[in-house]
Structure 1
Amino acid sequence: MRAFRRPVSVIAALGSVALLLTACGPATTADPTAGVQSPSVSATQSTAAPVADVVPAGLEKFYNQKLEWTNCGGVLECAKIKVPVDYANPQGETMTLALNKRAGKNAQGSLLVNPGGPGGSGLEIVRDSIPTLFGQDLQRSFDIIGFDPRGVGSSTPVKCETPAEQDASRQEQFDTSTDEGLALMRKSSAQYAALCAKRTGPSLGFVDTDSAARDMDVMRALLGDKQLNYLGYSYGTALGAHYAELFPQNVGRMVLDGALDPSLTNEEITMGQAIGFENEIRAYMQNCLESPDCPFTGDLESALTQLRELFAGVERTPMVATDGRTVPIIDFVNGFIVPLYSNSLWPALTEALRNVIAGNVDDIQFFADITAGREPDGNYSGNSSAAFTAINCLDYPMNSDIGVMRADEKALVAAAPTIGKYLAYGAVGCQDWKYPPKGEPGVINAAGAAPIVVIGTTGDPATPYEWAQALAEQLDSASLVTFNGHGHTAYGRSNECISNAVESYLIDGKVPADGLTC
């Protein structure tokens, strides 16, 4: 069992959860194809890419390749492009990146979308979630472009475990309180790292965020856009911020929702999330206690103690789901936190915990499967877990000294007594990674970029509000928009104030006032 994983592609994952939970509810009257132009009758469309105003030296063949769109189901069109594995050696090996498109009836250009992660599939969010996330005017006004970043999904993916192997590794459990248990955990992580290196090959060393941001500029040019219009959620804000730093002159209308602070170390990010989730657990539990079907009793502190005892029981004796799979504590926690990403799912979490107390862990396993991308047939859609590890190991230097990690665990438990211990020892996952980190934490200013809109949610557990404040402060041209509410990210799941601010900016270029609160 490797360390706690932050759920990947959370926007798409929550969309899947909501659809499944409401499958027996009233049908929507909305037309899912409204505002979307059907693709041409011709099977394939070829677009000769315009030469960008400034093509980075040595990259001409990539910026001038032809983009060919092919119908790939309903309103969707798909395409593939080539990019260099290593931008420092553009004459070397190449990667293939996958894109898809929902064409707008009155498109004024393209809008690239990333759902987060790292490891989230942009193809999936554009295929499955745009009609419910985006307003119809926005869908009409742009060709909505999804893409799988390098290493993710259909874009020269990181390859590690088979479905059976991933099932098996998710059922491992180690006692990290002992040196022996930590050594076993490191051995398992080292075996995993070796498997990823063997099955992926040299491209594993080039799935970093900086390279992925450079890919986005190739996409911009091939799509025929002089400037990049972009909406990034969660980790997608890191992609957008890095792009703005690398290509400030090419920034068009950019929205960064649920922001990461690029100046933070891996350890600082982990601490921020520990506190964020602890606060959201407290908010959830207070809400639970006010409902008639809450399985916890007493005041807030008593209920939290009961929850911690429940976690401790799963640690001692992992539960077994109806399908025979064991659900150890880390997979249990991964499932538990999914409904904390949207307060609309709090009732589902209450029901899941009530079932756990009664001896049935199937609902929690269902949520854990959502984060891992596991389908009911036992296969895994995409490679979100593998890509998450690979990208983070390249983006962040991590300190895997045992003494340092044990001190970090104590600090996490002190700051977040319910969830903190389960976020410790993440550095073990990168300790034996074949490729050293390329990234370093640092302030991003993006000097000279067009206005950038940063959105923060005050009760966001995964990307705490303070991170949005920090990113908006760093970016020279940022406007900060605040959503007062719970859950991760805001656009597409919050209120009309947020929707109006985002859509007026993206469609009409009307920059919301810095400090707008919704």
Structure 2
Amino acid sequence: MPGTPVAVKALGPVGPVPAGLDEFYGQPLSWGACAEFATDAMSKVLYNGKNLQCASLSVPLDYATPDGREISIGLLRKQATSATDRIGALVINPGGPGQSGMSAAASIARESWDDPLSARFDLVGFDPRGIGSSEPAVKCLSDAEKDADRLEPPITGPDAVAKTEQESKEFADKCVANTGAEVLANIGTRDVAKDMDVLRSALGEQKLNYLGFSYGTRIGTAYAEAFPGNVRAMVLDGAVDPNADRVASVIGQQNGFKKAFDSFAAACVEKEVCPLGGDAAQAEAKLDALLEPLKTTPVKATGSRKLSYSDAVTAVAQGLYSEELWDLLEEGINNLVTGDGAMLGQFADLYLGRGPDGKYTNIHDAFTAVHCVDDPPVKDRAVVEDQMRRIRDGVPKSSLNDDSDFIAALDECAFWPVPNTSQPHEPKTPGLPKVMVVSSTGDPATPYESGVKLAKALNASLLTVEANSHTAFLGENGCANEVGAEYLIDLKLPAEGTKC
């Protein structure tokens, strides 16, 4: 998506160039207006920000055949405000997989007028291949199909396995039809890390400075393993355990959300009026009773829309991502008591990428597509049954899960048309400089222990943030912001055991 060119200059190739990739590593970037790069309502607002520029980066679809089909990666930057003190570019990815790094960088740029990072670094966000402004985009379901799926009641009964597998196969088939098997085969983190090294060179950077949140920590880990000598600094916040299998990941996350809900409930019941009652021990039962009727009878939301059971559960999960959202979540639950599902519906829309115009981002299509090539598929039903048994034994009874979440059925990845290109493993990063991992004690989505494990695997410095939030750096925690900025600017790492 070309913008109006304002600067076209070749700054690369810089650093080592893998065989056959000279043209990509040395390509000029045409920086121009960002309006044409917007793909949804939110990006249309964000990309109008002051001093933002956008460009496209060309990379091979398949790095094994660099002279074959090319694809484009969307880029957005805000240049450092101090030309004399500029250190370089800070490349940003917010996670998902499926979230837009361009939108993340634009959002950070809006809030960073007094941030020392914005003076010393160009803030650069990229949309990973297949996502957002990058082309071709991963597409599986239409907007109408996504709306319809959200209204479906939970799958139960003796045919639950067969129905679930039929839906999984139909989803995989639609991804192939609407995206193409060749794109799906090359959408994974392995290839995103290679794209990021092309970007480093095209930006004219000898070494990479990287800020990755959530799944963005997996991208950073993959880059550190593939290109350890090309790293200057990395902050990995809200870490994904690089060695966790499916069972461990689900159990860890479910327990993380249960812990976050308990903290939310404890704060709520201390108030004069709480929609979950006055006893924290009974709060979850209250929420269960409130949500149960939605399984068969959705309630009114905004306009002609309805709030379903799955939407309500999604909304509660969204509200638990940060303590800053607790008051709004409490208000949404209180509204539901009176039969008004509008606020919880908006929370679900936020999580699922639905804009006010009814159009969805492709975050959840891409989420599945990436996971299906990042992790080995499970095609043996006996293995699936064993996994589900261990998950059921390991997760707490919670309003955030339901029997329909633990059906021993093959998922979409079992029907995926292409093989996986990576798998969970202990990363090997000889030559990697000391990097920094940030982990919050009350993180619901990527539990604290995952950050401990990633820091150990990378021999990284660990910053512990005592907060109920998924990720912490560049948020409301001034201590975490100061420690992270000191590291990125001066490479000063926090002392062992540092807590914010």
Q: TM-score, structure 2 length as denominator? A: 0.90
Equivalent in the alignment of 2:38: none
Report the Cα offset of residue 411 of structure 1. Answer: 4.4
> What 5-or-longer segments of structure 1 have no aligned partner?
1-41
Q: Please give the residue correspondences for 1:209-358 in structure 2 after superposition, counting only pairs within 5 Å.
A: 209-358=189-338
Corresponding residue number in structure 1 for 2:91? 112
How is 1:119-518 mapped onto 2 (pairs within 5 angstroms)?
Answer: 119-132=98-111, 135-156=114-135, 157-175=137-155, 177-201=156-180, 202-380=182-360, 382-399=361-378, 401-402=380-381, 404-414=383-393, 415-418=395-398, 419-421=400-402, 423-425=405-407, 428-476=411-459, 478-518=460-500
More divergent stretch after superposition (100-109 vs 491-500): 491-500
Letter in 2 for 1:180: D
> Aligned-pair distance for 1:164?
1.7
Q: What letter corresponds to residue 143 of structure 1 in structure 2?
A: D
How has the CA–CA distance of structure 1 residues 243 and 183 changed in structure 2, closer, same or farther, with 3 Å as cutoff?
A: same
Q: C-alpha offsets along residues 86-141 of structure 1, whole Å, 9 cap, x if unaligned?
A: 11221221111110100112222100000110001011112233332685211111
Distance 1:222 1:395, change over 3 A: same
Alpha-carbon distance in 2 for matches of 1:165, 1:146? 30
For 1:404 and 1:109, the matched residues in 2 are separated by 48
Deviation at 1:344, TM superposition (A): 1.3
The percent identity for this pair of structures is: 38
Task: Read off the aligned partner of 1:278 and give its amino acid letter.
Answer: K
What SS does structure 1 have at the residue aligned with 2:355? coil
Distance 1:431 1:350 in 2: 38
- Residue of structure 2 equivalent to 1:98: 74
Q: 1:326 to 1:114 in 2, by over 3 A?
A: same
For 2:233, the aligned partner's letter is R
Equivalent of residue 51 in structure 2, options 70, 75, 82: 75
Rounded Cα–Cα distance in structure 2 between residues aligned with 1:427 and 1:247: 35
Alignment CA distance shift 1:135-1:192 (3 Å)? farther
1:78 partner amino acid: C
Shift of 1:375: 1.3
In 2, the alpha carbon distance for the partners of 1:133 and 1:293 equals 37
Shift in alpha-carbon separation, 1:453–1:99, aligned structure 2, 3 A: same
For residues 50 and 166 of structure 1, the distance between their equivalents in structure 2, rounded to whole angstroms, comes to 42
8 Å contact kept, 1:171–1:325: no
Output the CA distance in 2 between the equivalents of 1:401 and 1:275: 26
* Aligned-partner Cα distance in 2 for 1:248–1:443: 15
Measured after TM superposition, the shift of residue 407 of structure 1 is 5.0
Alpha-carbon distance change, 370 to 133 in structure 1, aligned in 2, over 3 angstroms: farther
Deviation string, structure 1 residues 407-464 (Cα, Å, up to 9, x no partner): 5445444522112436535951322222222221101132211111000000000000
Q: CA RMSD in A?
A: 1.9
Contact 2:211/2:234 (<8 A) preserved: yes
- Report the Cα distance in structure 2 between the residues aligned to 1:294 and 1:76, rounded to whole angstroms: 43
Contact 2:165 2:410 survives alignment (8 Å)? no
Q: Counterpart of 1:443 in 2: which secondary structure? A: coil
Counterparts in 2 of 1:323 and 1:406: CA distance versus 1, 3 Å: farther
Distance 1:404 1:171 in 2: 30
Cα distance 1:511–1:322, how it changes in 2: closer, same or farther (>3 A)? closer
Query: Which deviates further from its counterpart, 457-466 or 148-157?
Result: 148-157
The letter for the 2-side match of 1:97 is I
| Cα distance in 1 for residues equivalent to 2:390 and 2:157 | 18
Aligned length: 474
C-alpha distance in 2, partners of 1:324/1:182? 32
**Aligned-residue offset at 1:266:** 2.1
How many angstroms apart in 1 are the aligned matches of 2:158 and 2:428?
A: 43
Cα deviation 1:24-69 (Å, max 9, x = unaligned): xxxxxxxxxxxxxxxxxx9421121322331101111111111111
Distance 1:159 1:466, change over 3 A: same
Instruction: Tell me if the contact between 1:409 and 1:420 (Cα under 8 Å) persists in the aligned partners.
Output: no
1:24-103 pair list within 5 angstroms: 43-72=5-34, 73=48, 74-103=50-79
The more displaced of 400-409 and 165-174 is 400-409
Query: Given the two structures, how large is their TM-score scaled by the length of structure 1?
Result: 0.87
Tell me if the contact between 1:398 and 1:427 (Cα under 8 Å) persists in the aligned partners: no
5+ residue gaps in structure 2?
35-47
